[in-house]
Structure 1
Amino acid sequence: MKNPEDVFFKSESQISPLEIVLKYGKINPWEFYFRLAEHKNFEAAKAVFERWDDDLVRRSDAFLVTRFVHSEWAKEERKVYLAHCYLMRLIRERNVRDPFALENDDQEDIATLRRLAGILPQIDIGGTAYHVDWEARELREIANPAGKIDINAMELNYFKDGYEALYNSADRQLYAVQAGSTELPPDVFLLHIPYEMELDPVAVARERGLDDLAFTNGHPVRSNLKGYLWFVDQATLSQMSSQPQDEAQAQGRRTGR
């Protein structure tokens, strides 16, 4: 599906603009839109938006992008959050945005909705794209799902903000260093990936029984995840080769998961 987030924007109510006025009294165009969207009559909300002039669209855009930003929307009820997301969809489609708004629009709402819809995050490692499956604790090559990286086989790093392991960039597999090794093949690097709060905060929230949307307030869904490949210096290699691989991995599992 081209826009998986569309699943959240299906009208489930036939509440009319007249019913909104009778229910809430006289309200301004901004509130009128939100009331209809919150009641999940997105078609009627869109019709209200289409009557906004370009100036109101630009002012709304600037407000949502720079002042009442995405992390604040995530604190709202889900129906209010979806109304904000749908408004941003309509603003982008209207195509009258100021350059400043375009430059500062990180589209975090789209990334969040797609993850809530079940689309797994992606991470780039040395030019190869992987799906992040935190529930299975693995990264799977998108072009070759049989190619996997076991996160459980990686160690939590010193700062506890990521996982690391030796990685062979030629066969795209983790590399087990042998005890006493003094050098590595030329294609072996130290792979660093972010920790789970950055890899997939939605999966972490669900695993812990927390509200997934509220959790993204402090841990946003990221659409540009990247794994880093670093050269291994002699001191690091000596340290790694002096510790048996199974012991290193067990330590990683104890401290990182």
Structure 2
Amino acid sequence: MTIRHVIVGLAAFAALAAAAAQTRIAGRVVEKGGECLPYATVKVKNRYLGAVADSVGLFEIQGAMAASDTVVVSYMGFRTRKLLVAELGVSDSTVSLVEMESAPVPLPEVAVRPGKRKTVKYGKKHGTGMLSADYTAEAGLCTGFETKAGKGRTMWLDAVGFYIKEIPGMLSSMKFRINIYDMAGVTREPTDEFADALVGQIYFDYDKADVVDGRYTWYLPEMMRLPEHAMVEIEFLENRKNEAIVFKCNLLGKNSWIREHDEYFWCTCPIATPFFVSCIEN
């Protein structure tokens, strides 16, 4: 390799570094009229960077990104918004306003038809476990379960929850979101199809006072009909890194997947899961 080749190579590397420099972007997600959209999902496309907005719609992302990179903002019931990093402003103080346009979505059915019913459970089945795991509660971390209804039958989401080890100083409360996707046509390659495949979101609050024998269960007010082939995700909505939460886990089944807020694909979870999903098939 000649000196000229080395110089050219270093110049190209410097250009790439400049194109994707350490950058901070921040914003507030609102609907027309200024009302905040809490817990909106924000991603920098192809950069594995992202965030979940807080309870008043504020988000902040720091990392290597270029001014020409695309930021994708999504929220159930609103059209997905795509902006350039440069449009959000790159500085330590700028907080840009991201206005979303409403897009009505069909409401899923919430009544179970009469007939023979069967309970189908995914994830952890009981309180005994092979191990315990300390989880860092990080907004945007998701654990998902694929569901498939039998031929001529319908699957309804009834409850979600997890098993937890009760310890002194344990996490007392936490906000979660259930994301429901129609998996028809969705691949597990890196993709931005998730926003289009999202057909339902439900929010719930964990309270340690509701833990019974190490199990926390949240029942939907009314059961929700799932697509024939669905993905049901349980997503953390808050960063609570200074509070202890120890889940009771066992090894994953074949229907368990994990996804982080900054990823565009699901993958088999390499760790154990404490979560479960309970459905009714009829």
**TM-score under structure 1 length normalisation:** 0.25
If each structure's strand is expressed as a fraction of its own residues, which one has the higher value?
2
Q: Which has the higher helix share?
A: 1
Which structure has the larger Rg? 1
Q: Name the structure, 1 or 2, with higher relative contact order (CA <8 Å, separation 6+).
A: 2
